[in-house]
A and B are shown apart, each in its own frame.
Chain A
Amino acid sequence: MPAKIASDWLNACSGCEIAIVDLGERLLTVLGLVDFVHLPALMDHKYYGQTGQGTHIEIPEADVGIISGGLRNAEHLEVAEEMRKKCKAVIALGTCATHGGIPALANSYENSAIFSRYYSTETTAPNDGTVPGDGVPELLDRCYALDEKIAVDIYLPGCPPHSDQIFEALTAFLEGRSPDLAQKSVCDTCPTIREGKGKLKQMRRFLEAPHYGAPDEPLDRMRCLLEQGFLCMGPVTKAGCGGNRVTPRCISARVPCRGCYGPVKADGNQRLDMLNALASNGIDLGSLPETTSMLRFSGAHHLLGPARQ
């Protein structure tokens, strides 16, 4: 019997689901091996029954539940809890689900500050400041990673996870084995040349092109971007973004890593680890314009919070 899969997206952007579609022809193979029972991106199963008569969210039983996105409102939480109840295993797909992702940058602010900015921008018609509440789910106090509220069996970070890794996770699950996913850092998979930092004291912002030779010069002839003085989060970021081709994707565009796979160890702190690495190499931390951005992918788990008054 084909394995049953339920999949849902919560505080997410749909990039993880598109990464599934980006399996290409492997998608057709996967579709031949599984039955999707719930997948709002591509199929019409409804939470409250097909004609909307139900009173609470119901998702069919499945062998595995795939959830992208963190938890930001009451409905996300209800869906996550229902998925946990109905699925034998839960996969957290993408960095929003595993670590909060970009939307967890909101954790630097109280909800009231977010509402007050959004509903008073220069193009917003004058209003009495009442936050919409009719038929829309109430926000949680902040943005949570999945495992802050439900148990997670498999973590598949990435913004988005590479399609090769999604394929590996799904086929491993179907074959009843553990997926073979990289546990190293981005630097461990990066082909650029490292010669040591030399006299480098300052970090530069990415306002100019890094140095490399001809346009088609292979990456293994280019000097490490961090050693060129550009902040690169590779040392503190989990590898895997290059998929089977291995080379980190941003580096292949000659652009530094920003940490989208989250910390190397699931409970790591990318900001703290990076600041430590820079400081121990004698880099002047004052040359960084700010550091919140170092947690842009992993601000859940209480790592980002509103500034104390």
Chain B
Amino acid sequence: MAARTIKIAPITRIEGHATIAIHLDDAGNVADSKVHFQSIRGFEKFVEGKPAEELPRIVNRICGICPWHHHLASNKAVDRCFGVTPTPAGHKLRELVQTIAQAEDKLLHFFFLAAADFVIGPDADYAVRNVIGIAKANPELATKVVQMRYKAKMILEKFAGKAIHPVAGVVGGFAKPLTEADRQWMLADMREILDFALFTIEFAKKDVFPKYLDAIQSLGVIKTGFIGTVDDNGALNLYDGKIRLMKPDGAFADFDVQNYADYIGEQVVPWSYGKFPYAKSWNEGFSLDLENPKGIYRANTLARINVADKMATPRAQAELEEFRSLFGRPAQATLLYHYARLIEEVYACEHAIELLKDPSITDTDVRAKVEPRAGRGVGCVEAPRGTLIHDYSTDDNGLVTRANLIVGTTHNLGPINMSVNQAARALIKDGVADEGILNKVEMAVRAYDP
């Protein structure tokens, strides 16, 4: 048998553009594998010279699945450049829309992108192993999923004008207040979506995860640290708080995101346009070695669930306790990202309801007065795909002179390479790599929802 390279291109049912190359040796076993991240658009360069207050409407185009998170991290960075604090109602409205966007995103990922591997099966024909196949096999569930995700999305569109590539976050706060009538219908809609979130996690715990316990314990499993955002009580927070960077053994350090550059570095690798972040503060360098990785930590749902001491809402807290009793803290198994995603879904729905129950969210003072000026600001939120950092500097006229971005997904680029390498080595033997096996390698990527 001659050495050869297996190409998985494109990786499908993910948001970005990436391919996998698996290099087999003469015996048909895995010598090496690489995940190639193919996009470079140059936002860090081409935002230079633009008025900073326009950036939240430019950088949201980094991602059409999570534009709200780029939009709001950017708004926070601009606030800080211009030295303005959003009004309380402006702050609350931003947090509300971000939380609802999180709730919508998790339904999208679980049902539209990931579920086919579990509900239809990893070895099924690709023509049916997708959301279209689910719609044909289980039209009732599919209709409910489509309705609920649409409902969450339309809350954003009806209230904030534009749901994809939003515009309603503005420097100093929010573009429009929430009326009492808006508050009431949004509350009713979010309660319905919470019910569906609770149904979804029960459905997954009962009908989906138990069938894949072996895969969960083995597929793409690696040992790394984790990053996420927590509030002052150590509870998971998606919108604001301090950054917690946890080592593989569970020890952690908390820091203010303004100082992120002291903690996070980015490694350039020859096989990817995307850079690979690593924990600079651990002072151990960067290595993707499966046995002995260095500087490698993960972001996104499992990471946030791991770094948080607790969840701030009751149903999500109960789910976290059950999860921890099964998998410990920090849980390392890669497919548990899906489970963690559904716990966060419950939290996002509960928290959106909490925010909407607060009548002061309808305060009409939604936007603080602001003057452009020279400054520097780092804005951060938890995007669905991980800790999202926008760092800008401005000149006296408030034009951007410098931008640095660390995008949620990128934290996981190194770990994705490791998980693929682990999965490929475990699954491909003696040159046998059929479609089902290659799809299982991709499942190690999909868990990260890149």
Contacts and interface: CB of A to CB of B under 8 A. Distances in A.
Contact of A130 (B130, B149, B164, B270): B270
Given A50-B435, A117-B45, A28 B51 contact: no
Interface stretch (A173-181, A183-191, A245-253, A262-270): A245-253
Nearest to B172: A207
A249 B161 contact: yes
A282 interface: no
Given A47-B9, A75-B38, A15 B67 contact: yes
A202 interface: no
B8 interface: yes
A135 B274 CA distance: 12
B272 interface: yes
A51 B431 CA distance: 12
B53 A15 contact: no
Interface stretch (A34-42, A80-88, A144-152, A273-281): A34-42
Helix, strand, loop or mixed for chain A's interface? loop
B41 interface: yes
A9 B18 CA distance: 12
Interface string A128-148: 001011111101000000000
A43 B126 contact: yes
Contact of B161 (A27, A42, A52, A252): A252
A254 interface: yes
A64 interface: no
Interface string B128-141: 01111001000100
A41 B167 CA distance: 25
A292 interface: yes
B64 interface: yes
Nearest to A106: B42
Given A45-B126, A292-B50, A14 B261 contact: no
Given A31-B135, A44-B13, A105-B46, A215 B273 contact: no
Interface string B34-63: 101111111011110111011001100111
A252 B166 CA distance: 12
A80 B53 CA distance: 35
Given A24-B150, A31-B132, A250 B162 contact: yes
A51 B435 contact: yes
A289 B396 CA distance: 12
B273 A136 contact: yes
A45 B9 CA distance: 9
A128 B334 CA distance: 33
B290 interface: no
B175 interface: yes
Contacts of B147: 24-25
B164 to A, nearest CB: 5
A52 B12 CA distance: 13
Given A215-B177, A250-B167, A118 B45 contact: yes
A221 to B, nearest CB: 14
Contact of A290 (B51, B149, B435): B51
- Classify chain B: how many residues form its interface, as a range: 35 or more
A134 B270 CA distance: 6
Contacts of B370: 207-208
A80 B161 CA distance: 33
* Candidate in B34, B146, B167 with the most chain A CB atoms within 10 angstroms: B167
Contacts of A101: 61
Given A208-B370, A258-B57, A127 B268 contact: yes
A18 B64 contact: yes
Given A255-B175, A296-B58, A42 B399 contact: no
B259 to A, nearest CB: 12
A21 B160 CA distance: 19
Interface in B357-393: 364, 366-367, 369-372
B406 A123 contact: yes
Contacts of A36: 132
B418 to A, nearest CB: 17
Interface of A: 9, 11-19, 21-22, 24-25, 27-28, 31, 36, 40-48, 50-52, 72-73, 75, 101-103, 105-106, 108-109, 113-115, 117-119, 121-125, 127, 130, 132-137, 139, 159-160, 205-209, 215-216, 241, 249-255, 258, 260, 289-290, 292-293, 296
Q: Which 9 A-B pairs have the closest CB atoms?
A: A15-B64, A253-B161, A114-B42, A24-B150, A52-B7, A44-B126, A102-B61, A13-B64, A135-B36
16 contacts: A14-B15, A15-B61, A42-B112, A115-B40, A117-B45, A121-B404, A122-B261, A124-B266, A125-B286, A159-B165, A205-B51, A208-B369, A215-B177, A249-B161, A258-B57, A293-B54
